[in-house]
A and B are shown apart, each in its own frame.
Chain A
């Protein structure tokens, strides 16, 4: 027993030494990693603008947060898949349809990856797309409004993880299912034994078409696969424009304890899909129509109203029948990241359990396809010979390589989760030229424009899963964080830590100059086509439709019209349709009413928003403006009187009406 313990100690000791050697010397004190002029490099003087917008996925908060770089200042949280009481997103009558799905109203999601629209592979500053992982969806945010303008549900999918990465000209957004699931003839999820996985479970990859003018999404086509799990994806560029690449794990087709059972095979795959050819097959009528129900939600900026439509079909292709649209490249050990370099020639597949990052060559892939250099088949799909398609392997990048981004000078940056570091390597020679620690457990990383044809370079940002001792403690849950590194010199240099909202996954950054002049400042009140808008105080009114009471109300610094309302009765549903009459930037008004089992609304200038309220008690209830709008903001308030059922107090409303006794 004693000897055993002793040898265990020796073993642990040796292990520590070996690990230290393997990982190189990490600085003992994290703060020593910061260089002298770091403060100067991230300092953005009061009143000055940041150089980049950095949109960061919020993970389990279902939102997107907007930071300025290099300062790391938080500029805005854009509600996407989750209700946001602060602005009324998903609470107001106008925005509730945005969260509609085939399951009904789903008020939350897990938002992982941002993809900025590109033209010829370069950022064009029009839209940002983001995936909902849990209840498969893709959302489109407009860079004019910084608002979610559209959400499309992805049918026949479970766990929309490898999404919403775009093709080079934003022709398609990609969506591959992470969880194989049983799919029957009607596109529904039938009741089958879980251990019939092999037989019944499928995986679907979707290509969502994007209208080049409006950005509006529609289902292009879907590809049907055996129940392998798709992890991440990227569109090709330049020579590989017609292709999209996916990392796949669980080629074992396991359905339990995947941690072990999906890590059995030495190699899984990077899958190459020729989407252009798929498009042609669809045009040629090779697709089959599959009944599928999915929601398509669009926000209209003149009606100030979202509309949700349930779509009923998709077009499905079977790559195993078509033969020449899908090829598998063997990739060590459950690959995670699948990243295409700026020229579109190299694809880095990061096997998160592997000791190398294999880099595939697109030219070699084409060659191998032409020469049929196959290593057999996987479930009826051709597997290309590893050596035939390999550009080379990055040796010892670090432990647990996850994702790779690229700069404008031919270097790649790979995040290593287990060893908490970024490895910089030369894309041509595959030599690791620099490495730097992150604090701690880096997941995604991002170089501004690092997944485009022309990276903007300058920085790499690490999005970390763990912060431990980096910030003041805040109870059991600590902030997650981003870290900004300078990459302009030969050596990466840590400049800044900043906390992030939610859990950051993939992020993108775009030069402010491409976006900032596109901002909507206000909505023209003349163009407001909301069904209950009050365009001017003369149009303010209260009217009844059965037990529904509609209040068409105006707001302006600093009063509501009407602000005294009587004749509402218990059992009524009251809809406050508040129109903000302001026509200047940065003057929203808010509206909240006591005891409402709902949120507030924030109404942008020129917009109309509706808050529903079902009074639960008789009495006189106050409402007020929640957004400090002027020196007399505190006076921006009013009353609504709720009378018992069956009383016959007529509906009446006013502002600034003096009692008869006073006006005499």
Chain B
């Protein structure tokens, strides 16, 4: 029954009737980035100290909105917009107590700040959780600053 010839003869020859759902799944999987592509798109903004920043009035409303989005996604878990401390200090008044450049470095260069800036170190002693590097670009940090200014009542 299983001799070579009968085996070959009896192989069921069916055309290439591909299952579409499977094809779609494969196509979708093809489109999603490989780990190497993911790795190549990782911004590493750490280590570039921000030296100066220009503040403009009135506020850039597009930045305020973009800043809020990132706040919800990446900061809200630890910072309230009031003066209540959660994991980190509440943001009410932060643009009054801190220089804009200091804030930007706190966002994009937090390891440097916690290693060398006395004010940041004082905060760490109070909070005991290291403020995480949330890997924001300089532009995103600038947008967040705009959002913080708005939170402090600027127009």
Residues of A participating in the B interface, judged by any CB pair closer than 8 Å: 126, 142-145, 147, 149, 182-186, 190, 192, 196, 199-200, 202, 214-216, 288-291, 298, 300-303, 307, 309, 311-313, 316, 318, 320-321, 518-527, 535-538, 554, 556-559, 561, 581-584, 587, 630-632, 656
Contacts and interface: CB of A to CB of B under 8 A. Distances in A.
A535 B73 contact: yes
A518 B39 contact: yes
B30 A216 contact: yes
B39 A144 contact: yes
A557 B132 contact: yes
A142 B37 CA distance: 11
Interface stretch (B4-12, B55-63, B96-104, B114-122): B4-12
Which 6 A/B pairs are nearest by Cβ-Cβ distance? A144-B35, A145-B35, A185-B10, A583-B135, A536-B73, A584-B133
B50 interface: no
B35 A524 contact: no
B42 A300 contact: no
B32 A144 contact: no
A94 to B, nearest CB: 14
A149 B135 CA distance: 25
A631 B129 contact: yes
B132 A584 contact: yes
A474 B36 CA distance: 41
A660 B2 CA distance: 78
B128 A584 contact: no
Contacts of A584: 132-135
Contacts of B12: 185-186, 289-291
B33 A632 contact: no
Contacts of B29: 216, 298, 300, 307
Contacts of B35: 142-145, 147, 149, 301, 518, 520
Given A214-B34, A520-B35, A632-B87, 15 more contacts: A149-B34, A214-B30, A215-B34, A216-B30, A289-B13, A289-B16, A300-B32, A303-B32, A307-B29, A318-B8, A520-B42, A527-B38, A556-B132, A557-B130, A587-B132
Contact of B130 (A190, A196, A630): A630
Contacts of B73: 525-526, 535-536, 581
Interface of B: 2-4, 7-8, 10-14, 16, 19, 22, 25-26, 28-30, 32-36, 38-39, 41-42, 44, 72-74, 76-78, 86-87, 128-130, 132-136
B5 to A, nearest CB: 10
A519 B2 contact: no
B8 to A, nearest CB: 6
B36 A143 contact: yes
B134 A583 contact: yes
A334 B12 CA distance: 35
A521 B42 contact: yes
Contacts of A312: 19
A311 B25 CA distance: 12
27 contacts: A126-B36, A142-B35, A143-B36, A145-B35, A183-B2, A185-B7, A185-B12, A199-B3, A202-B7, A216-B26, A288-B11, A289-B13, A301-B38, A302-B32, A307-B25, A520-B42, A521-B42, A522-B42, A525-B73, A535-B73, A557-B78, A558-B129, A561-B77, A581-B74, A583-B132, A584-B134, A632-B129
Nearest to A141: B35
A536 B3 contact: no
B135 A557 contact: no
Contacts of A184: 2, 7
